[in-house]
Amino acid sequence: MWASSLEARTQKDLAKASKFKDDHSSNKATSPISDPYTIEECMDVLEMMEDVTDESYNKVLEKFKDKDWRKIFMKMSAPRRKMWVDGL
């Protein structure tokens, strides 16, 4: 009797865990969280900037490999961003 009770509880707990996992994995698929600091987002901003030399452009792309640089770039005001790009 004790063994069958324990087995039933184990099955119930496993079913709960499986349901919880399914519920949370489906939420990720239906409501993705957008990251404003992706390389693509940063490149879109960089492409909109005027008068960026090829040399500066390539140096900025190297910086974009690091997420911290991408955050810094996106948080700068447009004039500071231009100064930063030109100074690389």
The pLDDT tens digits of the residues spanning 5-45 come to 657 666 766 666 666 666 655 555 555 668 889 999 999 99
Rounded distance, CA 56 to CA 87, Å? 8
Residue ranges per structural domain of the chain: 1-33, 39-87
- DSSP state letter for 52: -
The answer to whether 75 and 68 have CB atoms below 8 angstroms apart is: no
The answer to whether 88 and 60 have CB atoms below 8 angstroms apart is: yes
Residue 13, token pair as written in the block: 């707990």
The answer to whether 48 and 70 have CB atoms below 8 angstroms apart is: no
- The whole-number average pLDDT for the span 80-87 is 96
pTM of the model: 0.61
- DSSP state letter for 1: -
Rounded distance, CA 16 to CA 67, Å? 37
Neighbouring C-beta atoms of residue 85, cutoff 10 Å: 20
